[in-house]
Chain A
C-alpha cells in the first residue's frame, strides 16, 4: 500500500502505516545525526526549530555556502544529501519523540528494540531509505530552508524543503512490526546450516 504524507503529520497518520507499505513525504524534513543528538539529549542543548509531528532523517549533507535568498534562507545550498547508518543513534529515538514530538525517523540499516517500543507506545515509524543512493535522494530536496546548532556542521540540525521524497519502505511500524528483526532472526536461524556446509562443527 502506498501513502502520501504532507508534513507535519498526526499520530493517526503514522498508526495507519504497516511494515511493507510505501510512503512518499511532502513539504518538510529535518536532518539530524550523532553529534546533533548528543548535543540535544546528552548536553541539554535545545533548538528553536519545531519538530512536532515531523520526520527526521539520519544525515549530514554535503553543502555549499551561498548568499541568503528566497530559495535558500539558510545560506546553504544542498550538494549531496544522503543517509547514514541509524543503529548508532538507537538510544535517541525515544527522547526525539518524547521531547521534540518527532513522528517519523528515516534511516538505513534499521533500529533496535528500544526504538520499536517507543514507536509502539508513542506512535512512530521508521522508514527505510536505500543507503548509498544519495545522488537520487538529493533530487528530492528542493532547498535548505533553515539550520540550527550549526557549530556542529556538518552535523547541524537541517531543515529541508522536500518534494516527492520517496517512495520509502515502512520497515518498523507502531504495531510491533520490524522487517529488520524478522530478517535478522531468519539469518540467525540459518547460521547452523551455513557452518555445517563449511565443515564447521
Chain B
C-alpha cells in the first residue's frame, strides 16, 4: 500500500493549522502553566501567570488569537515510508495555505522584505514560510507541524562557536548568560532551547527544534538530558520571572538537542520560545487526516 498525499488537501490543512495554532495552545503548555501556577512563590509573578492563563481561556471563548504576533510561519514535514507526494507541489501548497489564512481570516502579515521592509500582506516571501522536510521511519504516514514563531522570543537567539578547551563549562556559562541577556524581552516563562554541536547552522536549528519541543519531552541523548535538568534549575534560580518582573518561573524548561561536531569545534546556540508556545499538527494516514498539536 502507498499513501497518496494530495496538494489541494495540504493547502487546506496548512491554512487550518496556521489559524488553529494561533488560537489554541497545546495541552502540554497548558499543563506547564498549571505546574508553575502551583509552584510560583512571588506575588507579582503569580498575578502575571494568572493573567496568562485567563488569556488562554478568553482566546478559546472568543475564538481569537492568543497573541497579536502571527510570527514567522514554520512548517515541519515528516515523510514516512510508502508515501507518494509531489514534493514541490507540497511546498507550494504550504505557502498558498499560509497566504490564504492571512487574507481570508484575516491575519496580520508579520513578514517583510529584509532590506526594503515592504510587506506583501501574505505572510510569505523569499524562503518564507520556512519549510523543513525530513524522512522518518513511519509507515504510510506524513506529518505536518505548524509553528508560528513570535519575534519577541526569536530575537532572543544567540550563537557562539566555542572551542574544545571551553568544554561543557563554556556551554553552561553561555546558556546562563543568554537567559540574563534575554531578560524579560522574550516573554517569559519560556522554553529555552539549546543546540550543542553540529555546524553553525545546524546548531541553531537544533536550538529551534529544542525550543519548540513539547513540554515533558526529554533529549534522547543521555548527556543532553542531564544538561536539560541542570540548566533548567540554573536559569530559574536567576529570578527573572514571568515578563522579567521577578519570580521563580523564568523558564517552563530548558530543552537540549545535540549533534556530532568537529574535533576543533564546540558550538552552542540558544533559541527561545515564549509562553505562547504555539503549535498545531496534521497527520495524514490511509484512514484520513488527524488534527492535533
Contact = CB atoms under 8 A, between A and B. Distances in A.
Chain B contact patch, size range: 35 or more
Interface string B103-126: 001111110000001010000000
Contacts of A135: 55, 58-59, 62, 64-66
Interface in A108-131: 108-110, 128, 130-131
Contacts of B245: 128, 169, 171, 179-180, 183
A53 interface: no
B238 A132 contact: no
B270 to A, nearest CB: 15
Contacts, number: 173
Contacts of A199: 169, 172
A121 B111 CA distance: 37
A200 B239 contact: no
Chain A contact patch, size range: 35 or more
Interface string B169-206: 10011001100100111110000000000000000000
Main secondary structure of the interface of B (DSSP, over half): loop
B106 A190 contact: no
Interface of B: 44, 48, 51-52, 54-55, 58-59, 62, 64-70, 105-110, 117, 119, 150-152, 155, 169, 172-173, 176-177, 180, 183-187, 230-231, 233-235, 237-241, 243-246, 274-276
26 contacts: A79-B65, A82-B69, A84-B152, A85-B186, A85-B187, A108-B152, A109-B152, A109-B184, A109-B185, A109-B243, A110-B183, A130-B48, A131-B243, A133-B51, A133-B55, A134-B65, A135-B59, A153-B119, A179-B245, A180-B244, A184-B180, A184-B240, A191-B176, A194-B235, A198-B176, A200-B173
